[in-house]
């Protein structure tokens, strides 16, 4: 397989990634997980409510934390 020809845009992107890769990795975490199709294809709900998948995950995480905190208090 041949390597793609370097374009000005690719060179710029590589240079940016070299400078910001550590910062990006500290700021974001990739969990490397997947969802079953039943849940992953619920795009209509998200579009209807103008939500992103990240919004959905964050809201679920916060809800789960609250739920577990209230269980541990009792």
pLDDT, tens digit (0-9, with 9 covering 90-100), for 12-62 = 999 999 999 999 888 887 777 777 777 777 778 888 999 988 898 899 999
Q: Domain coordinates of the chain in residue numbers?
A: 35-74
Nearest Cα residue to 53 out of 62, 64, 41: 41
- For residue 51, the tally of other CB atoms under 10 A from its CB is 13
CA geometry: angle at 67 spanning 31 and 40, to 5°? 40
Using DSSP, how many helices (H) and how many strands (E) does the chain show? 4, 0
Per-residue pLDDT band for 74 (boundaries 50, 70, 90) equals low
Q: Residue 69 and residue 49: Cα distance in Å, rounded?
A: 28
């Amino acid at each position: 397989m041949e390597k793609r020809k370097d374009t000005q845009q690719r060179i710029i992107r590589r240079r940016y990634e070299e400078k910001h890769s550590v910062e990006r990795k500290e700021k974001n975490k990739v969990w490397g997980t997947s969802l079953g199709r039943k849940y992953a294809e619920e795009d209509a709900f998200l579009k209807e409510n103008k939500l992103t998948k990240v919004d959905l995950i964050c809201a679920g995480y916060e809800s789960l934390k609250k739920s577990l905190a209230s269980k541990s208090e009792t």
